[in-house]
Structure 1
């Protein structure tokens, strides 16, 4: 038995999320079935994070135990062939120690949230960005974001369905960057932490967007955090613009 670690990219639009479930297709199901088609045995594929329906990934880490004698390169090539035409790709595959775990060995996770600020609807990137029709003040959003960095009780930014034992998390980074392009004003929110609560990134981005629109002040975000009350959440951003972009492990 060999444990393989994968680096996975996927477009979340056709899926109900990462985790296998009975009421719709998932990324986990697609990868497990592709590995089974190659090896003859369906493994359990564990990932660094459990993304929601419609959320994407550029660098999801995952692992699976495979009984077949096969090199990482051949396994990657064969699994990618079986994944077609699903919008999922194995970017890298390596052998890891038997006690390495994509989720439990992970020391940190990174996300990006992409906002397209323009009146015209999204065309090529529909479902890949959150299109906000009005201009956004990225500087005010960045100011507001800094109220959320650090160790806090994030109850306000936690889904009612969150299964985490505690709402207390340490947010290592939350930065708002403006990246204007030919398609209009693009804003990218970078978030990093050891782990996140369910909907935490989307909830934080939604409130930052209210600041960018001028409907909230940066202090309103601070006060919403201090309230520790989900009822004080201003807006939960849609899944479209959210990307899992990296997982950190011990060297």
Structure 2
């Protein structure tokens, strides 16, 4: 029995999230069915991912592991699984790893990128691929507000009511906010995230960018530990799981650079 890690990307528009569910399409179901067809086994191979994404959320890099006794070259795993996947999902690489590797628990950090289009007219050609805001946002104020979120904090004010985590404390390494024409890119790296944490942070920063709330409001939200005081959960459309960091000992080849995450269509 060997353990294999794979890196994949997917367009979340076509799925009801990552996790396998009854009577709806999920990324996990599509991947497991593709592996089953490629290996020609009668037994379905279960996969474990680095981070479960919600309905409509995309990934430029999701990391998955599974155990199998099927012997194939790593390049064959990539080509073979892709043959049976829908066009909205692609495997980019495969690597045999040691049995102590775990896609979720071995991860040191996760990075999400949110792409926001600001303009009066809805961005038709980017439908479901970017978030949309009709306002011209104040980038400087959002940057100043985001600094309050850096470091180790209780993020209760930014977790969804359905969050199952026992501990609301997370460490945010950095938040970058950059503008490119009508697009604003938010990049957030943390050791882990609470349910809807990124989308709730984005929604709250946008309130600051619209000058509806002050820069210091974000600090007040953190201290309040009260979800009802923060902004509504923002749209999933522009959210991308874009990088997973692992200890060097696993020597994973990953197709993107943590310091230069590119959204392929922009």
Tell me whether the two structures share a fold, i.e. TM-score over 0.5: yes
With the length of structure 1 as denominator, give the TM-score of the two structures: 0.96
**2:36 is the counterpart of 1:36:** yes
The residue number in structure 2 matching 1:13 is 13
Query: TM-score under structure 2 normalisation?
Result: 0.90
CA contact (8 A) 2:30 2:86 kept: no
Residue 23 of structure 1 deviates from its aligned partner by 4.2
The superposition leaves residues 17-40 of structure 1 with CA deviations (integer Å, 9 ceiling, x where unpaired) of 111111411101110000000112
Look up the match of 1:231.
228
Aligned-pair Cα RMSD in Å: 1.0
**Counterpart position of 2:255:** none
Q: Find out whether 1:250 has 2:251 as its counterpart.
A: no
Q: Is residue 2:123 matched to residue 1:122?
A: yes
Name 2:200's counterpart in structure 1.
203
Deviation at 1:213, TM superposition (A): 1.0
Question: How far apart, in 2, do the equivalents of 1:2 and 1:82 lie?
Answer: 22
Report the number of matched residues: 246
Q: How does 1:1-251 map to 2 (within 5 A)?
A: 1-39=1-39, 40=41, 41-85=43-87, 87-180=88-181, 185-251=182-248
- Counterpart CA distance in 2 for 1:122 and 1:43 is 40
- Give 5+ residue unaligned stretches, structure 1: none
Alignment partners' CA distance in 2, 1:48 and 1:245: 11
Please give the alpha-carbon distance, in whole angstroms, between the structure 2 residues aligned to 1:234 and 1:19. 26
SS of equivalent to 1:13: helix
Shift of 1:144: 0.6
